[in-house]
Amino acid sequence: MTRAAGTSLRGLAAAMIVTTVLSTLPAFAADLGVRGATWPVAEPDLLEQIEARLAAMQRSGEMARIEREAGSRARSRLEEPVPVPGIAPARETRIRSTPTGPSPATSQAGPGSTSTGRTGPMPAATGRP
């Protein structure tokens, strides 16, 4: 390594150390006072206005009416959903077999049993009798 390269590496390392030390020093805040004229906030408090409007709606019964309408809309959409375009209602009953259905469990002990002594593809749940 040349002398110039070693000097630049030492300078870079020193700069990194100084930057690390200075960045870890705590920052201090001070009250510098007020410069210029200040005015109080002119806007009304939004949360207070919302609470006042909700209280007025409850006193007048409007809130109960809105809740009844929302309940009836939800009930009607559950009982009579909007049809999906492109999907026709079923006209006949069809049963399809899937590869994820129950299958006999096997182990070295033979078909129908596993090393835990139970049958079936699901692992045993802890805490069951």
60, with CB counted inside 10 A (0-12, 13-18, 19+), is: exposed
Is there a contact between 105 and 121 (Cβ–Cβ < 8 Å)? yes
Is there a contact between 102 and 120 (Cβ–Cβ < 8 Å)? yes
Coil, strand, or helix at residue 127? coil
User: Cα(125)–Cα(7) distance, rounded to whole angstroms?
Assistant: 67
Is there a contact between 101 and 95 (Cβ–Cβ < 8 Å)? no
Taking the domains of the chain in order of start, what are their residue ranges? 46-80
Of 32-36, 47-51, 64-68, the least confident: 32-36
User: What stretches of the chain adopt beta strand conformation (E)?
Assistant: 106-107, 110-111
Say yes or no to pLDDT of 30 above 70.
yes
User: What is the mean pLDDT of the segment spanning 94-112?
Assistant: 62
User: Cα(119)–Cα(112) distance, rounded to whole angstroms?
Assistant: 6
Most confident of 10-14, 31-35, 64-68, 111-115: 64-68
User: Cα(59)–Cα(53) distance, rounded to whole angstroms?
Assistant: 10
Residue % of the chain over a pLDDT of 70? 70
Pick the closest to residue 50 from 64, 63, 33, 65 (CA basis): 63
Name the residue with higher pLDDT: 29 or 128: 29
The predicted-structure confidence for 68-82, as pLDDT tens digits, reads as follows 999 999 999 999 988
- How much is the pLDDT for 53? 96
- How much is the pLDDT for 61? 95
